[in-house]
Amino acid sequence: MDIGGLETVVANSAYVSARGGGPGGSARDRKHRARLRLPHISQCEALRARLAGGGLQNGVAQQNGGPKQDGGGEEEVSFRWQCVEQPIGKRLFRQFLQATPGLAAAGALWEELEAFECCEEGERSAAAANIRKRFFTEGGAEHCSFLSAAARAPPAGSGTPEDLDPARRELLAHLEGSAWAPYVASPYFGRFAQFKWLEGQAVGADAFADFRVLGKGGFGEVCACQRRATGKMYANKRLNKKRLKKRQGYEAALVEKRILARVHSRFIVSLACAFQTKTDLCLVMTLMNGGDLRYHVYNVDEENPGFPEPRAVFYTAQILLGLEHLHQHRIVYRDLKPENVLLDDAGHVRLSDMGLAVELKEGQSKTRGYAGTPGFMAPEVLRDEEYDMAVDYFTLGVTLYEMLDAKGPFRRRGEKVGGAPRHRGHLWGSYGSLAAAVLHTLAHCSQAKRSDGRRPTRAVTPPPPVPAAACSPPTAACPPSWPRSCFRSFRSAEKGFPHTPQLYFHSAPPGLPRDPRIPPSSPSAAPQRSARSGRR
């Protein structure tokens, strides 16, 4: 009898049964559910007083003895943290605005501004016109007179959320000055204090039931677990203390815990709680059942590895939103790669593994340090130069290339292609205009040309369509898609960077460089791409 196989079947069956959720619960589970009851308001008076003592005045968080959020930076007692960043606090504050006649219009404007950010490009013009009509026009029932004339008169045909940023800033400043004091005295703030009191209660290993191991790493393993009180499934990342001490990984573990406690994004794994046992540090996070991108790139369809362009661009857009959320919190990720991008049940992606991320202090724009994965690190990291958040956009470009071509863009030193050693070879691939423009923008060697450091999508402008005659090779069965492009490889990290990796295009449209080795009259002269394993 295969005992190992039998144990695997039992573990898988228990895991699947837990995900399905069984009816009812044992007496032990009922005991755990009782711990989730909100305390009486009288138990939270001290905490409520500390939380109410904050407020953000003139852009500076006031320190009044309130609790601090892990990671430093913003104080828990600030208006922005309690009413904008905290999901529960934001929901309760908006309920308070809706229930207060004099503040209902401001609350409605806030919701419309956030909805405008999620609009499709074709709908933004109409949505902006609706906002101006409802809230910016004098005499209307929801006219927001507290906005300045400049904020109420954005450029005609506003098509981007940045056009309404002045209105959003003035709105939050108005809410902080006019709504904060009555909100603190309301029952809504008392309920917020109850949730914060419950959030601060200690959680241990006995609150979870562990199931099968989902993966293993250098410091420990990740297993599926279930919260006994609610039945909700999580992923428990258990980091062995002995391994952390031996490999000097304690700082990385604390950085990951601190960063995950700060961020709240659909495109970054969420930290539910953290605790420690005698042997492990445990981070309980969002359960991602879809695996990582590397598995889907190479193993789902081994005969045709890689993703179609629409799928790769879809994942890239979600990764970019996760990166921008980190950058808003002054966090440089530094370790973006397919293995660290996880998929959930619905097929959406989230960033994980923040152990190599670095937090920039207030007023600090650049950092320094060798961190990341070989083959993904930006040139300035390998040169041991100072760098900013643009390094994450370079790793995003490399990740996009690997999603499309099922291999990395940069060859390793001494690698042979076609039986001959090539140190500065070229990798060729066929991409559509959007993917080519994104790659050209993100994977540029120069930080300044790579992105503006805040929103690189502004620089990603898809070039106009190219006539079919300029495509190589055009066929009736496969619609012509330009261009064929190549990355010039980096030399090894030890040798530095004697040249700039450049993305060339055949029949290049305006704004993109054409490969100088290919005559303009011979678009089909592109060399055939050599067969190469997708494994590095």
Active centre residues (catalytic): 335
CB count, 10 Å around CB of 185?
Answer: 10
Contacts of 144 (CB under 8 A, 6+ apart): 105, 106, 109, 135, 136, 152, 171
Between the CA of residue 227 and those of 163, 455, 459, what are the distances in Å?
A: 44, 38, 45
Q: Based on the number of CB atoms within 10 Å of its own CB, is 100 exposed (0-12), middle (13-18) or buried (19 or more)?
A: middle
387: which 2 tokens?
């760098």
Do residues 485 and 436 lie in contact, with contact meaning Cβ atoms separated by under 8 Å? yes
**Helix or strand or coil: residue 351?**
strand
Helix (H, G, I), strand (E, B) or coil at 55: coil
Which has the closest alpha carbon to 28: 208, 236, 263? 208
Nearest C-alpha neighbor of 160 from the set 110, 118, 106, 108: 118
Beta strands at 358-359 and 416-417: parallel, antiparallel or unpaired: unpaired
Dihedral over Cα of 416, 420, 426, 430: its sign: negative
CA distances from 185 to 54, 56, 181 (A): 14, 17, 7
Extract the tokens encoding 425. 């070879």
Contacts of residue 169, defined as CB under 8 A and 6 or more positions apart, other chains included, come to 151
Question: Token pair of 364, please?
Answer: 């600090």
Specify the DSSP class assigned to residue 134: I
> Residue 65 corresponds to which tokens in the numbers above?
């003895």
Buried b / exposed e across 253-279, counting CB within 10 Å, b at 16+? Answer: bbbbbbbbbbbebebbbbbbbbbeeee
Single-letter code of the amino acid located at 466: V
Strands 271-276 and 233-240: unpaired
Token digits of residue 37:
């009851």
Q: 358 exposed, middle or buried (CB, 10 Å; 0-12, 13-18, 19+)? A: middle
Residues belonging to the chain: 536
- Using the structure block, give the residue that is written with the tokens 């940069």: 410
Evaluated on CA atoms 526, 531, 534, 536, the torsion sign reads: negative
Relative to beta strand 56-57, strand 60-61 is antiparallel
